[in-house]
Copies of this chain bind each other. A is one copy, B any other.
């Protein structure tokens, strides 16, 4: 089933920024802006109008639509200052929900999220790497159905994050190096058929970056996802950049050493063979002839073990090198470290920071001033996947499921 030669259904391209060519598109744009602002915090009509630079009547009209669709709730006005009290508007957290899936090498996760992106119900299991496409997909579907059965509100869409590379046109996973079961799987088509919902597929690293957009005002940043591999979610103008073939951000396969060790990917000296979590474990293992897991090595490093510290330091140094190059190429506003490796960011950041401070193009000390944030959110990939689905609803790409009038 995973090997269908061709997809039959039309496949949704996600995050498609349609051209703005007519007045109706303006409405779509403004509607999405309103919802994005309201995700941050409740606002009154006046406040929204001012923030967006639109007139009060225009905004009132727009809000009217959203209220009618029950996407927003209007709370009772609360005292603020003198003058009529503003009526706080907020997103209706019970209007609908979305399903967010994370299909990673060792994690198979299905979660329900409310319109604010908050988790309602999460089911985590193993993806079953090495047991074949059929089995992997079966687990994913089973988890999805189980979670869906618990939904207490209509489900609008599904977002799924998977390792790249991905063919977005066809909704097909191509050839993730550490997850051969998925090779050439038409994931979108299958899920759409089996779940009967619109499905949005995204890179895992793009998904986490998408998720992080919610908690940062940064316009241009790079989210470095540290796990066995290393991915980069590239955000430009608050848009995820995917590349021509949906392939951008393979930071793990950037070469740090032109004559380095060959990597299965074809390149040499790939970053992820030096700074990926597996690489850290292997390095420590080679030095000590043991086979500890990452967290154990981190614990040793914290308790002063110099070899364990070295293992992390070398990874940090390589990441620092990568960071310098990213800065000189992208000039981002922010770097974010996330994923399993980021749990031990305190061991990586000192050498990363040192490299960045001393080597990034030094004018005005942009290297020194570049903030590095650590994303500690528990399940960032699944949330990111859900965000894609949410975004589609916000942009009005998906017809909203019906709701029972009166169920505030």
Contacts and interface: CB of A to CB of B under 8 A. Distances in A.
Interface of A: 19-23, 25-26, 29-30, 52-54, 165, 174-175, 219-220, 232, 234, 236, 241-251, 253-258, 265-268, 317-318, 321, 324-325, 328-333, 358-364, 366
Contact of A257 (B250, B253, B257): B257
Contact of A219 (B165, B244, B359): B244
**6 smallest A-B Cβ distances: which pairs?**
A243-B331, A247-B331, A244-B333, A248-B331, A250-B328, A266-B362
5 contacts: A21-B26, A21-B52, A244-B332, A250-B361, A251-B328
A117 to B, nearest CB: 24
Contacts of A258: 256-257, 317-318, 321
A249 B248 CA distance: 16
A404 B267 CA distance: 62
Given A236-B236, A255-B325, A332-B244, A29 B23 contact: no
B265 A362 contact: yes
A359 B267 contact: yes
A360 B267 CA distance: 6
A242 B330 CA distance: 8
Contacts of A52: 21
B266 A359 contact: yes
A265 B21 contact: no
B257 A332 contact: no
A254 B219 contact: no
Counting every copy of the chain, the complex holds 2
Contacts of A54: 21-22
A265 B22 CA distance: 48
A321 to B, nearest CB: 5
Contacts of A174: 363-364
A25 B366 CA distance: 35
A26 B25 contact: yes
Contact of A20 (B26, B243, B265, B266): B26
Contact of A266 (B165, B220, B321, B360): B360
Nearest to A249: B329
A253 B26 contact: no
A36 B195 CA distance: 43
Contact of A250 (B19, B30, B219, B329): B329
A17 to B, nearest CB: 9
B23 A23 contact: yes
Contacts of A220: 243-244
Contact of A361 (B21, B53, B265): B265
Contacts of A21: 26, 29-30, 52-54
Contacts of A234: 329
A330 B222 CA distance: 12
A317 B363 CA distance: 29
A328 B360 contact: no
Given A22-B54, A244-B332, A247-B366, 4 more contacts: A20-B26, A219-B244, A244-B333, A267-B328
